[in-house]
Amino acid sequence: SEHFMQGVQYPLEIHFVHYNAKYTSLTDAVSSGKPHALLVIGQFFQMDQGIEPAALQQMGNEASRATSEGVVMNVPINLNNMINTADSYYSYAGSLTTPTCNEIVTWVVLQTPRTVSKATMDK
């Protein structure tokens, strides 16, 4: 993960990127350079043998088919069950974590990690 929670870095953090409705696209939001153009929800995952979200298993299965040329995912994935919506969270004004690192993001980082299996992580 890119974030640390109380000194712990998890093996997986998924970012759900949303752009402000006043922009027509993600590209427009990023190029605006305006604070709060994006809202990103970060969900941690810890390795465990517990029950992992079905969507995460599906993504792992599809990713394992990928080649250097890519693969179209043919499976509908319900991302709703990947986020712990009843969770407490931390929020701060920050930036994208990849270049150009624009300082346009409101981050919402969920406090409680979900479960990912070693098999899914290996994929």
* This prediction's pTM: 0.87
The reported pLDDT for the residue numbered 50 is 81
Task: Give whole-number Cα distances, 77 to 13, 32, 54, 61, in Å.
Answer: 18, 30, 8, 12
The tens place of each residue's pLDDT in the chain, 123 residues long, gives 889 988 999 999 999 999 999 999 999 999 999 999 999 999 999 998 888 999 999 888 888 877 767 777 777 888 888 888 787 999 999 999 989 899 999 999 999 999 999 999 998
Give the CATH number for residue 57. Answer: 3.10.200.10
End-to-end CA distance of the chain: 17
The reported pLDDT for the residue numbered 70 is 73
Report yes or no on 6 lying in a domain.
Answer: no
Report yes or no on 105 lying in a domain.
Answer: yes
Quick check: helix, strand or coil at residue 67?
coil
Cα 37 from Cα 93, distance rounded (Å):
11
The reported pLDDT for the residue numbered 72 is 79
Report yes or no on 32 lying in a domain.
Answer: yes
Q: In total, how many domains does the chain have?
A: 1
Report yes or no on 77 lying in a domain.
Answer: yes
Domain span holding position 29: 15-110
